[in-house]
Amino acid sequence: MKKLYSLLVLLSMSVWGQQEPQYTQYMFNPTVINPAYAGSTGYGSIFSMYRAQWIGLDGAPETMDLTYHQPLENSHLGLGMNILHDKIGPTNTTFASIDISYTIAFSNESRLAFGIKGGGELFAIDNSKLNNFNPEDPFLEANYKSQFSPNIGVGLYYYNENSYLGLSVPRLLETKFYDVLIYSETKRKQHFYFVGGKVYDLTYNLKFKPSFVSKIVSGAPLQVDLSANFLYNERFTMGMSYRWGAAVSALLGFKVSDRLFIGYGYDRETTRLANFNSGSHELFLQFDLLKNGQKVESTRFF
């Protein structure tokens, strides 16, 4: 097992100050980064995801997410709920939120949704797992330290039958926390997300969807993920993704039934981190709460 300080050194070279969890299969659960997506599918949906990053590296990130969202009948409103747990080294972060969206429909069958996310974050750090080079630091006197910070987020989501664009800031407030990379308190910065995608019908049973997500953080390089997925016979999805200057990914998915969809993603680093781990794994389950007699004629694909 690699030492925890080795992980922190590598992190300082690879994440460059980006502080929110990483997602490879963002295109299947946009609600986690954009509250305006809540209710856009037209039915209730439960999404759960587990991500194990950089397998083989001691203290590497682990992320778990549980999301629910649905439209509210006879209104333009959507409602969503999200619980996110992120663990890295000696730190644990749990973020719980409620999303509310309002959608405006246009005559060309496109829609524009506005969303707001309200919630709070519980950040905890086990100081006993740190290499303490300053025993007199008062922050490190307690073995276990935690703090709660409320936060809000906003988003815009424009979409039609086969394309979408979204812009969001999941956490507007810059909260203070203890950064294990520099062994001192720092601010959790705003992360701006810009996403987009379009679905092309190649044949009667094959669809192609290129998509992207860009993440902008003050003091860090622009991060861009480019993805290409194919949907065959409304059941099987497969594709590839490239995280600019960081990783390549393989994506697989299978719609078990009209309600249940499962997916898997594997990342392989293209940086020096590849020498210290065997890749990252991401698994998700999606369960759609269709009403009795309700049937989705064509898989949404976003």
Over 50: is that where the pLDDT of 4 sits?
no
For 165-213, give the secondary structure using H, E and C.
EEEEECCCCCEEEEECCCCEEEEECCEEEEEEEECEEEECCEEEEEEEE
> Phi and psi of 197, rounded to 5°?
-170, 160
Give residue 276's domain range.
4-289
In a domain, 55, yes or no: yes
Assess if residue 301 is contained within a domain. Answer: no
CB atoms within 10 A of CB 14: 15
Is there a domain that residue 166 lies in?
yes
Residue 47 in any domain: the answer is yes
Strand pairing partners for 288?
45
Q: Name 251's bridge partners.
A: 239, 265
Q: Would 105 be classed as within a structural domain?
A: yes
CA angle 216, 264, 171 (to 5 degrees): 30
Token output for 280 = 């990252």
d(CA 161, CA 41): 11
Judged by DSSP in three states, 219 sits in coil
DSSP code at position 294: -
Indicate which CATH number applies to the domain containing 208: 2.40.160.40
Would 99 be classed as within a structural domain? yes
Residue pLDDT, tens place only, 16-55: 445 688 889 988 989 999 999 999 999 999 999 999 999 9
Tens of pLDDT along 109-166?
A: 899 999 999 999 998 887 666 665 555 655 555 555 678 899 999 999 999 989 999 9
**Considering the domain boundaries, does residue 299 fall inside one?**
no
Which band of pLDDT confidence, cut at 50, 70 and 90, is reported for residue 77? very high
Summarised one tens digit per residue, pLDDT across range 54-67 is 999 888 999 999 99
Residue 232: enclosing H or E segment and its boundaries? strand 223-232
Mean predicted lDDT score pLDDT of the chain: 86
Whole-model pTM? 0.87
Question: 262 has which bridge partners?
Answer: 254, 285
Q: Looking at residue 12, what is its pLDDT?
A: 45
Q: Does the pLDDT of residue 251 top 60, yes or no?
A: yes
Ranking 169-173, 228-232, 291-295 by mean pLDDT, the lowest is 291-295
189 band by pLDDT with thresholds 50, 70 and 90: confident
Token output for 95: 């973020």
Does some domain include residue 295? no
Q: Tell me how far apart the alpha carbons of residues 176 and 163 are, in angstroms, rounded to a whole number.
A: 37
Please give the C-alpha separations between residue 10 and each of 17, 86, 146, 152, 262, in angstroms, as whole numbers: 12, 18, 25, 31, 32
Looking up tokens 């392989």 gives 268
Number of domains in the chain: 1
Torsion angle in degrees (nearest 10) through CA of 48, 64, 214, 12: -170
Q: Between 89 and 101, where is the model more confident?
A: 101
- List CB contacts of 229: < 8 A, sequence separation 6 or more: 27, 208, 209, 211, 237, 238, 239, 251, 301
